[in-house]
Chain A
Amino acid sequence: MKYDLPPWFSAAAPPAVIAVLIGGLLLAGKVPLTYNLRNLRVRWKTTVLTALAFTVVVALLMAMHAFSMGIRRLSEESGQPANVICLSDGASDEMYSNLPLSETSDLARQPGVIRGAEGRALCSREVYIMVNQVMPAVEGARPKHRLVQIRGVEEPDLSARVHGLELTAGTWFSGAGVQERSPGSDGATNASPYALVEAVIGEGLARDIGSEAGKESLGVGDVLTIGPREWVIVGLMRGPQTTFGSEIWAKRQKVGEVFNKDNIYTSIVLRAESPAAAEELADRLSRDFKKSAVTAMTEPAYFAKMADANQQLLGSIYLVSGIMALGGIFGVMNTMFAAIRQRTTDIGVLRIMGFARWQVLLSFLLESLLIAALGGLAGGALGYLVNGVTTTSVVGTSGGAVKRVSFQMIVDGNTLAAAVLFTLVMGLLGGLLPALSAMRLKPLQALR
């Protein structure tokens, strides 16, 4: 799936499709377009009310679709094609994986794992925790909770390289992974020296938590309480459109110690030479690595499971939009039947002037399409406003696991295509029955 449609194309696509369709109908049917346009103008209140219903339906469809497309892009871009993720045998998600430290340490030495310039194998050993974090609350109110993803890594620069992340502010955490604070420093009330766990936070999560604290984003030096410990932010990392942008990274040993996972890795990510080599490495590790049975797969395959879960969401969106579109169809049908009822004489005149039945059919079909197009374009424009809006949601991965992710909603070619398709189908279906009834009117009977 490509998402590199130029913006001008995205903006021009819906009107172009509608113009081509209407032009085609005009050329094929030689219908009296001026007559249809005048009717729409004369009955402008009805036209506007019907079109507005389309606007709402299309705008909602686009917003929901853009949400789903955002998740899809996230799941597609989170995985590096040449990366292999190793989980414990049978585990479908890193949340459920337990790889013993001692039995998996030599995974990095497997043939096929590439090395960086400094000779280190491109291998990220990780422990991943999902914490249900209590948020500060107004006194007396039930405290709200938030899911926070914490990833413990051993060599942060190396792990960032493996996952394609970059540090945008501050530094990676130190070798010790903690920052000593003296009593009373930064207004703290501790009577004895204490240590804060150093953490690097993803930009998406920093914005998310920051906005709740009334800031644009959290920054270096800010302190968070997660679980039983306080965490000081020493850096911000960028993982544009990846799940890692919604995570907190800290020293693996510290994360394991705090959350009782100090004897295991949850995943080990290895970088191969190429996507093909990654496939081969994943197969080989799953089959032949005997020291500790592992389930290895390429990262895109792993994140594809998140996309699968998203397919269900997309299905629900289409279902809800479909039901709402039905309402729009009945609405336009109502309008068009009323129009035909009011213009029975006009139809008789048109027939006597020599317009064939099918031309009358096309004329009324065109009118309903114009109403739909009007509403659809307005809805499209309204829906387009959500493009690029950053939002946060919890998405399902596989085997019941979830991730809380921050991502941008995307109005791409797919979203526009869905909006145009819905608009046209609603216009066509809504106009078809009334147009057929208009076509069947006999000229003399209509004039009478």
Chain B
Amino acid sequence: MKFFLLIFKNLRRNKLRTALTALAVGVLVFVVTMIWTVVYFLENFTKEKSGNLKAIVTGRYDIQGQMPLSYARDLSHGAASRPGDVVPAESMAWQFYLGTLDPQKRTRENMVILVGMDVHQLPTKVANTVAHKGIIDDLDPIDKELVDKLAETTHGCLLGPKRLKTLNKKVGDRFKVSGFQPAGIDLEFEVVGVLPAGRWDENGFMNARYLNDAVDKFCKEHPASKPTLDQRRIDMFWVEAGKKDEFPRLVEQINASPLFQSPPVKCETFASLVANYLDSWSGFIWFIEWVLVPGSMFSMVLLIANAISLNVRERAKEMAILKVIGFRPGHLLGLVLGEALLLGAGSGLVAGGLIYWIANAAVGGITVAGSEPFPVPWQAALWGAGVGGATALVGSILPAWTARSLQASEVFARVA
């Protein structure tokens, strides 16, 4: 305990140096932890969850992965054709509608991203009781009345609170969207309600029939576009198996089915879909993980080594006295390492905690390349402490060894 207090006192002695070193370590830990948070998020996103019963069906080759509406029926039965085949417990088709409120100024602020679907498949609640669980597990249940109202209002939509705020709209407002996916489909919407805050803050839902009617109308006016648009209606089809052992069979059934040949489809878990997509960014992620992070950590090691070296040099006389009064070389080594560790881990913990607070409370999550904002996990503070402490230890080894090897007689001779 006395030893610990001594470490504390030493750090307090040169407050300016301690503060500057802590700040230097803190900002670099900030960078490292921020990057690790992103990597952690991506890895977590692409990790297969045990007990997962949901799979996504998309086009097999084309990155857009769209399918014709005619696939919906067979997919909802899991392509079951023989007795004993697995039929999904739940299924739903997603059709994306992307557009802008201002075709002349296509900024992110003007963009609207809506998922067209049978809105009765949204998770609902009556009072506080879940009425329909549905497949979308990252969306809190919505009041059933609101979903019923959306189903009745063909041109209605539910939007996330942040998107509504960005668009400067409120419930009851109407707005016109110029579509760019599918291109040329312009639609008018009425905001029926607001989605619960969370993962769906920036997007929304609409009735698939409204989108399909508009596409059909467009195809009548542009018959040449019909064959292509008919082939490209469904963007994703979700299926959920009823039991765990049925899940692989369901996936295999759909992948092997001759019903989906033009275009061919693939059925996989969401984690696998995201991981396959992210593979293309592997080089960039590698650079960040193995060049940027080590570079920042190396800078930290240098800065700490410098600060601790300065400390040891300035306190040579004091350390010589400590040796004379009975401190062993190991004690001095421990003293210097302890100071560095406390400084590094302490400032790292603060920096990690700051990231947690800034990212979650102040900014509302981290966004990567236009992704939905995601929260920083509480572990960030621990990573900060770990990174700061580890680099501080590495950086202080040489100065600590110098302190350990200090010859009291030499120091006193120099002073004399």
Contact of B412 with A by CB under 8 A:
no
Within 8 Å by CB of B184, from A53, A88, A129, A323, lies A88
CB-CB nearest 10 A-B residue pairs: A100-B224, A330-B24, A91-B183, A49-B306, A90-B183, A227-B61, A130-B63, A331-B303, A145-B279, A145-B276
Q: Is there an interface contact between A53 and B299, defined as CB atoms closer than 8 Å?
A: yes
Could you name 8 residue pairs across A and B whose Cβ atoms are closer than 8 Å?
A: A52-B302, A89-B184, A90-B99, A91-B183, A95-B63, A263-B228, A331-B299, A338-B310
The 0/1 profile, CB within 8 Å of B marked 1, for residues 301-343 of chain A is 0000000000010000000100110111011011101100110
Chain A residues, Cβ within 8 Å of B24: 326-328, 330-331, 334
Contact of A396 with B by CB under 8 A:
yes
**Which of B5-13, B25-33, B204-212, B379-387 lies at the interface with chain A?**
B25-33
Q: Is there an interface contact between A338 and B303, defined as CB atoms closer than 8 Å?
A: no
Knowing A323-B27, A393-B284 touch, does A97 contact B183 (C-beta < 8 A)?
yes
Contact of B62 with A by CB under 8 A:
yes
Chain B residues, Cβ within 8 Å of A142: 272, 275
**Which of A55-63, A159-167, A268-276 lies at the interface with chain B?**
A55-63
Contact of A399 with B by CB under 8 A:
yes
CB distance from B294 to the nearest CB of A (A): 9
Within 8 Å by CB of A264, from B16, B25, B185, B228, lies B228
B-contacting residues, A389-404, CB 8 Å: 391-394, 396, 398-400, 402, 404
Within 8 Å by CB of B180, from A92, A292, A331, lies A92
- Name B17's closest neighbour in chain A (CB-CB): A334
Q: Is there an interface contact between B31 and A320, defined as CB atoms closer than 8 Å?
A: yes
Residues of B in contact with A, size category = 35 or more
Q: Is there an interface contact between A90 and B370, defined as CB atoms closer than 8 Å?
A: no
Chain B residues, Cβ within 8 Å of A63: 291
- Name A391's closest neighbour in chain B (CB-CB): B283
Chain B residues, Cβ within 8 Å of A263: 224, 227-228
Contact of A222 with B by CB under 8 A:
no
Contact of A228 with B by CB under 8 A:
yes
Q: Is there an interface contact between A341 and B62, defined as CB atoms closer than 8 Å?
A: no
Chain A residues, Cβ within 8 Å of B180: 90-92, 96, 399
Q: Is there an interface contact between B370 and A260, defined as CB atoms closer than 8 Å?
A: no
Q: Is there an interface contact between B300 and A327, defined as CB atoms closer than 8 Å?
A: yes
Contact of A259 with B by CB under 8 A:
yes
A-contacting residues, B333-359, CB 8 Å: none
Within 8 Å by CB of A132, from B61, B310, B369, lies B61
Q: Is there an interface contact between A57 and B299, defined as CB atoms closer than 8 Å?
A: yes
Contact of A146 with B by CB under 8 A:
yes
- Name A227's closest neighbour in chain B (CB-CB): B61
Contact of A46 with B by CB under 8 A:
yes
Within 8 Å by CB of B64, from A102, A103, A130, A328, lies A130
Q: Is there an interface contact between B31 and A292, defined as CB atoms closer than 8 Å?
A: no
Contact of B222 with A by CB under 8 A:
yes
Contact of B256 with A by CB under 8 A:
no
Q: Is there an interface contact between B16 and A228, defined as CB atoms closer than 8 Å?
A: no
The 0/1 profile, CB within 8 Å of B marked 1, for residues 131-142 of chain A is 111000000001
Chain A residues, Cβ within 8 Å of B302: 49-50, 52-53, 56, 331
Knowing A96-B181, A102-B224, A260-B62 touch, does A334 contact B30 (C-beta < 8 A)?
no
Contact of B292 with A by CB under 8 A:
yes
Besides the known contacts A327-B25, A396-B370, 12 further A-B residue pairs in the complex with CB atoms under 8 A apart: A56-B299, A57-B295, A91-B181, A96-B183, A98-B228, A259-B61, A261-B228, A323-B30, A330-B20, A331-B303, A334-B310, A335-B306
- Name B64's closest neighbour in chain A (CB-CB): A95
Given the complex of chains A and B, what is the CA–CA distance between A97 and B182 in angstroms? 8
Determine which residue in A64, A97, A400 has the highest number of CB atoms from chain B within 10 A of its CB, and name it: A400
Determine which residue in B24, B291, B298 has the highest number of CB atoms from chain A within 10 A of its CB, and name it: B24
